[in-house]
Amino acid sequence: MSLITTLISWFLFFYGVGFPVLLIVSVVRLKGFMEITRYESGTGFMYRVNPVTKVLLGLAVMGVASTTVWWIGALLTLAISLVYLTLRDGVRKLVYLSVVLVSSLISSMWSVAPYVTPSILELAFPHQNLVTVWTWPSYFEVMGYQPNLTLQALMYGLQIGFRVTAVLASALILVLTTTTSDIFRMFTKLRAPLSLTFSLLVGVRTVPRIFELLDSSVKMQFIRGLGRGKPRIVYPFLLLYSAILALVPTMVYLLRGAKTMAISADTRGFRASPRRTEIVELGFRKEDYVIFGVVVGLILLAIVANLLGFGRSVPYLGV
């Protein structure tokens, strides 16, 4: 085994693990993550849709993407991504989303491709000869790698990734266009337990707060001189390093905030009664009926696709 083969193999290994992270850190950054994980007021179409309808749309997208051929999931990803243009600062959000989706595709592909067995690939790609792209060193089999990385394995992983991206894009729309109060009202209307609803809302509010605290801590490290005089090419690695160092202060601030939130919930008598009364009632508008029509269309699409042979098998019948 040559040294070059070993170096390329380890480069490919770290590429699948580290490149998606570096892509997000260097392009989206923490500020971008904050923008696509928290609510911002707007007047577009999706802002006027009932949260229950948005959840129903997300479930329909997940069902269609998981039961049909891969390119339907890819088309759904494209269609949902274009909806981001109707949001506040839609172009910037679309750019951030695109980078996140590309990173998700790479992660999904490399989490599957090196491990999928030839027997599965023969079922997924019948009547096709497996094309070897790279041969791993023998000791890579300890990590569960197959001896050969094939073109069909990469395509297999990429196809699975398109199922993830469609669901991810539709889920973020709910977060971006719905206030936490409306989410709470939605779960109350669905008779969800208050404890479960409260836990979900804490998560919705905490995720953007995490990125905000990480962003502040990272900036403070650079202000103190981290990376001074270093070439720009190492800047993404410095960002990743500073983000790791920022985990401890971020956790400290979050724990302090959790204590304050618990005191606030107690002083307001949260869960003193098993039922809640609402001043604002969530109703359905014409925008909701448009989405209902889209949901029905997606269900019909899944049925027709499976009847025509475009359903998933293991998980797909070729390309």
- Which pLDDT does position 278 carry in this prediction? 62
- Which pLDDT does position 280 carry in this prediction? 62
- Which pLDDT does position 297 carry in this prediction? 92
Model confidence band, residue 196 (pLDDT cutoffs 50, 70, 90): confident
Query: Using one digit for the tens of pLDDT, what is the confidence trace for 101-111?
Result: 998 888 888 88
Model confidence band, residue 318 (pLDDT cutoffs 50, 70, 90): very low
Between 293 and 21, residue with greater pLDDT: 293
Between 83 and 127, residue with greater pLDDT: 83
- Which pLDDT does position 78 carry in this prediction? 92
Query: Using one digit for the tens of pLDDT, what is the confidence trace for 37-78?
Result: 788 888 888 888 888 888 889 889 988 888 888 888 889 999
Lowest mean pLDDT: which of 7-11, 112-116, 170-174, 193-197?
A: 193-197
pTM attached to this predicted model: 0.75
Query: Using one digit for the tens of pLDDT, what is the confidence trace for 203-214?
Result: 777 777 787 788
Q: Is the pLDDT of residue 1 over 60?
A: no
Let me know: does 84 contact 99? Beta carbons within 8 Å: no
Query: Using one digit for the tens of pLDDT, what is the confidence trace for 247-273?
Result: 888 888 877 777 777 777 666 666 666
Return d(Cα 58, Cα 84) in angstroms, integer. 15
Averaged over 123-137, what is the pLDDT? 82
Q: Is the pLDDT of residue 17 over 80?
A: no
Task: Output the average pLDDT for the chain.
Answer: 81
- Which pLDDT does position 77 carry in this prediction? 92
Q: What are the structural domain ranges in the chain? A: 7-177+283-306, 184-266
Q: Is the pLDDT of residue 122 over 60?
A: yes
Q: Is the pLDDT of residue 234 over 50?
A: yes
